[in-house]
Amino acid sequence: MPHENQANSKRRIAIVTGGSRGLGRNTVVSLAGRGVDVILTYHSNKAEAESAVAEIEALGAAAVAIQLDTGNTASFDAFVADVRQALTGLGRTDFDYLVNNAGTSHHASIAETTEEDFDGLVNVHLKGVFFLTQKLLPVMADGGRIINLSSGLARFSIPGSSAYAAMKGAIEVFTRYLAKELGPRRITANTVAPGAIMTDFSGGVVRDNPVVNKMVSDMTALGRPGVADDIGPMIASLLSDDNRWVNGQRIEVSGGALL
């Protein structure tokens, strides 16, 4: 029986927000290694986006980088127009996979979290993901896949992460609703929840601060913090047909944090 969304041999196309650095970068390179073409977005660092495109092209896949602030819903119609144009260049009118990955960190106690910071987190981590997905759904092929990035912090509680973690918890609920509502289009939706990973996230604190690095190692069954290579290939695998029946799930990818 042919796979439901891969009954023909056309090349797949993924849109990955924040694909220029960190986990998104590792994801787009992993996808390229599997023969998937990529539209990646960046926010402020165009040079990193261009170097990601070059890395993907060296692997024999096609890549287009588009600037996007996922916290600015007013820019989404123009972004979708850019996506349609990029798809034309890639010889398609639709795309297959959406990875809502872009995000920024926030650390403050509940007492010290400002309304401004909270609104900024809502815009990037919740409202932006909700409405970007809404706007892109008409361009997504039936049988496509959506992955939203959450965090281990939505399951366990580490003081100073309440606002950020609350956004990620909301994304996990939203993802289940996506899976339910998009079932008739054979589109799957899942959440990937990384543990602490050594990227530039949070100012690179997990990577660069020995105290934090040891704390994460001590709370992880596999005895170290994650690296981007622990996440990107997993996301690429989850998008592949091997995982076509995984739907509406939260999958934690943390090396066994706080079990």
Ligand X SMILES: NC(=O)c1ccc[n+]([C@@H]2O[C@H](COP(=O)([O-])OP(=O)(O)OC[C@H]3O[C@@H](n4cnc5c(N)ncnc54)[C@H](OP(=O)(O)O)[C@@H]3O)[C@@H](O)[C@H]2O)c1
Active site residues: 164
**Angle at 105 (CA atoms; ends 101, 108), nearest 5 degrees:** 150
Q: Which of residues 110-139 bind ligand X (CB under 6 A)?
A: 124
Strands 140-149 and 37-42: unpaired
- Helix 210-218 / helix 201-208 crossing angle, nearest 10 deg: 80
State yes or no: residue 165 binds ligand X (CB under 6 A).
Answer: no
Per-residue interface string for the shown chain with ligand X, residues 39-78, x marking contact by CB under 6 A? ---xxxx--x-------------------xxxx-------
255 binds ligand X (CB under 6 A): no
Q: Per rule CB under 6 A, is residue 102 in the interface with ligand X?
A: yes
- Asked if 224 and 186 count as a contact pair (C-beta separation under 8 A), the reply is no
Shortest spacing between CB 6 and ligand X, in angstroms: 27
Q: How far is the CB of 125 from ligand X (least distance, A)?
A: 7
- Closer by beta carbon to ligand X, 5 or else 254: 254
CB 189 within 8 A of CB 179: yes
Coil/strand/helix, residue 183:
helix
Instruction: Provide the angle, in degrees to the nearest 10, between the axes of the packed helices 76-89 and 128-136.
Output: 40
Identify residues 208-227 at the interface with ligand X (CB under 6 A).
none
Distances (CA, A) of 78 to 68, 72, 85, 129: 10, 11, 11, 16
Provide, rounded to whole angstroms, the least separation between the CB of residue 186 and ligand X: 26
The residue ranges that bind ligand X (CB under 6 A) are: 17-18, 20-24, 42-45, 48, 68-71, 101-104, 124, 149, 151, 194, 196-197, 199-201, 206
